[in-house]
Amino acid sequence: MRRMRVGVHRTVLVVDMEEFGQGWRTTPRQVAVREGLDRALRRAFDDAGLPWVDCRVEDRGDGAGPRRGEGNVRDRLDLLP
């Protein structure tokens, strides 16, 4: 007998930094921009009542893909600045 898999809701947000790999963006600038993005995402999620520590984040170097676990948090995404 086959087990039925039950669908679950997961919230996914993807962000990307424009022109991150362009030659004029030196390594120190890339690091600074990356750190700024990380701080902004952490604060936005925490301020919206979506604790960053509860997210699984896929670091893409020039962006990030934070994912929330199971549950319905769609109504809180509009709280992100």
pLDDT of residue 28: 92
pLDDT of residue 70: 57
Phi, psi torsion values for 64, nearest 5 degrees: -150, 155
Instruction: Check residues 17 and 66 and name the one with the higher pLDDT.
Output: 17
* Distances, alpha carbon 1 to alpha carbons 4, 5, 70, in Å: 9, 13, 26
pLDDT at 77 over 70: no
Identify the three-state secondary structure at position 59.
strand
Distance (Å, whole) CA 18 – CA 2: 46
Distance (Å, whole) CA 52 – CA 30: 22
**Model-level pTM?**
0.67
pLDDT one-digit tens code per residue, 4-51: 777 777 777 788 888 888 888 899 998 898 899 889 988 888 888 878
Domain ranges of the chain: 30-77
